[in-house]
């Protein structure tokens, strides 16, 4: 393993922030990872596992060890008439995995096409889009317990998945490094068309019964249209989570904001953060070298030379504006690294 020093992370985070890591190493096998965990370099300071860096904001330089997750591979571990269980390496690109599944006629993940990032990051924040979340298809998550340096397989229930939440972000944060994920996929096409915009998009092109491939293509078209490509304008997708409020608060907000959108989520109401931000006037606004996308109010962008601190400051301003206007506290979805 080659440990690099004072390494620029510009190409390792989709915001394109030029933060430096004191140390950087790429890990391509479980043996490499266990060797690293047993070493003094790992034990002597803080560390952070990075996939594509597509959900992360470096506020400044990282005075520790960045572990780039590059464990690849995909294998079938079980097949029946109705389903397959695939085990996929944490270092595989998520979208490539989704595309391979659709091509091989293993169904379920189509709605999650084009989400940036690597497979190992998917369970951490329980990625989701267009009416689906990855936990619906997780069978188990495999990784190394950093205290014992032993492999451990967590069942789906043990992962404690929620909306952009999991045990890996909470109790196990820093104590468990995901090396692969097992997904249980369907062999029959069962399409999830619950998301209104997606159903409208698919119906533009398909006159008869839509296929999983048509669904996959529709999701790709929608994402390309709405979300900015980090290669053109640095960003990390949704910067904030959609807040959940109770029904009474929702009803009283409706008195002042009659068109406020809200969707039931258990016994709470989920409000699109993008709508709240748009009402405050931040959509399309610039703040130094950072700004809010003109295409989608939930996406903060780097216009070229923004620092992590600048983007962070912008996010603080947005939180304050939304709080002032609606009395709602936004939470960041992006992982802010100090």
How many CA within 13 A on the CB side of residue 334?
A: 28
Catalytic entry in 140, 238, 293, 315: 238
Residue tagged active-site, from 164, 223, 310, 315: 164
β strands within 112-254, DSSP E: 128-129, 132-133, 138-145, 150-155, 176-186, 234-238, 244-245
The residue number whose beta carbon is nearest to ligand EPU equals: 237
Query: How many C-beta atoms surround the C-beta of residue 63 within 10 A?
Result: 12
| Stretch binding ligand EPU (CB under 6 A), from 86-94, 178-186, 235-243, 317-325 | 235-243
State yes or no: is 164 an active-site residue: yes
**Of 45-53, 70-78, 93-101, 238-246, which part binds ligand EPU (CB under 6 A)?**
238-246
Binding segment for ligand EPU (CB under 6 A), chosen from 28-36, 40-48, 74-82, 273-281, is 273-281
Handedness of CA 37, 38, 42, 43 (dihedral sign): positive
Check binding of 165 to ligand EPU (CB under 6 A): no
- Chain-centroid distance of CA 91 in Å reads 14
Place of tokens 């490539």: 96
- Provide the minimum distance between the beta carbon of 136 and ligand EPU in the complex, in angstroms, as a whole number: 14
Phi and psi at residue 88, in whole multiples of 5°?
-125, 135
Q: How far apart are CA 135 and CA 126, in angstroms?
A: 6
261 contacts ligand EPU (rule: CB under 6 A) = yes
333 as an active site residue: the answer is yes
By the rule CB under 6 A, 301 interacts with ligand EPU:
no
Closer of 298 and 301 to ligand EPU (Cβ) = 298
- Rounded to an integer, what distance in angstroms lies between the CA atom of residue 144 and that of residue 255? 52
Closer Cβ to ligand EPU, 146 or 238, answer by number: 238
In degrees and rounded to multiples of 5, residue 10 shows phi and psi of: -50, -40
With a CB cutoff of 8 Å and minimum separation 6, the contacts of 215 are: 110, 111, 191, 192, 193, 198, 202
Give the one residue of 25, 71, 86, 297 binding ligand EPU; rule: CB under 6 A: 297
Task: Single out the residue of 176, 181, 47, 25 nearest to residue 118, CA to CA.
Answer: 181
Nearer to ligand EPU, 154 or 297 (CB): 297
What is the smallest separation between the CB atom of 227 and ligand EPU, expressed in angstroms? 6
Choose the stretch contacting ligand EPU; rule: CB under 6 A; options: 56-64, 168-176, 200-208, 269-277: 269-277
| Residue 237 binding ligand EPU, by CB under 6 A | yes
Contact map string, positions 123 to 142, toward ligand EPU, x by CB under 6 A: ------xx------------
Residue 34 near ligand EPU by CB under 6 A: no
Shortest reach from residue 279's CB to ligand EPU, in Å:
8
Residues 89/74, Cβ–Cβ less than 8 Å:
yes
- DSSP states of 197-223: HHHHHHHHH-SSSPPHHHHHHHHHHHH
CA-to-CA distance for 187 and 3, rounded, in angstroms? Answer: 43
Q: How far is the CB of 265 from ligand EPU (least distance, A)?
A: 11
Q: How many CB atoms lie within 10 A of CB 317?
A: 14
318 binds ligand EPU (CB under 6 A): no
Residue 213 in the binding site for ligand EPU (CB under 6 A): no
Residues making contact with ligand EPU (CB under 6 A): 129-130, 197, 226-227, 237-238, 241-242, 261, 272, 274-275, 278, 283, 296-298, 333
Catalytic residue positions, numbered: 164, 238, 333
């Amino acid at each position: 393993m080659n440990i690099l020093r004072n390494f620029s992370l510009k190409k390792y985070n989709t915001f394109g922030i030029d933060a430096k890591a004191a140390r950087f190493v790429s890990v391509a096998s479980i043996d490499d990872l266990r060797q690293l965990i047993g070493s003094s370099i790992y034990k002597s300071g803080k560390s952070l596992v990075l996939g594509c860096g597509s959900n992360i904001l470096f506020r400044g330089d990282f005075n520790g060890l960045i572990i780039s997750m590059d464990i690849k591979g995909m294998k079938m571990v079980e097949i029946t008439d109705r389903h397959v269980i695939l085990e996929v390496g944490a270092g595989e690109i998520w979208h490539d995995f989704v595309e391979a599944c659709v091509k091989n006629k293993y169904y379920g993940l189509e709605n999650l096409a084009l989400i940036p990032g690597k497979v190992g990051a998917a369970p951490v924040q329980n990625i989701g889009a267009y009416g689906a979340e990855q936990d619906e298809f997780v069978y188990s998550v495999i990784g190394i317990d950093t205290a014992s340096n032993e492999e451990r397989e967590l069942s789906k229930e043990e992962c404690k998945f929620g909306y952009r939440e999991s045990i890996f972000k909470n109790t196990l944060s820093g104590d468990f490094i995901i090396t692969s994920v097992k997904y249980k996929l369907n062999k029959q096409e069962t399409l999830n068309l619950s998301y209104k915009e997606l159903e409208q998009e698919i119906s533009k092109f398909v006159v008869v019964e839509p296929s999983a491939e048509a669904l996959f293509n529709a999701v790709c078209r929608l994402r390309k249209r709405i979300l900015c490509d980090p290669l053109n304008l640095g960003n990390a997708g949704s910067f904030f989570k959609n807040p959940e409020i109770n029904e009474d608060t929702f009803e009283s907000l409706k008195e002042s904001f009659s068109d406020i959108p809200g969707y039931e989520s258990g016994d709470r109401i989920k409000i699109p953060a993008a709508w709240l931000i748009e009402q405050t006037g931040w959509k399309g606004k610039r703040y130094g070298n950072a700004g809010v996308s003109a295409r989608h109010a939930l996406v903060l962008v780097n216009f070229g030379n923004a620092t992590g601190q600048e983007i962070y400051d912008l996010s603080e301003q947005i939180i304050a504006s939304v709080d002032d206007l609606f009395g709602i506290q936004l939470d960041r979805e992006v992982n802010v690294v100090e």
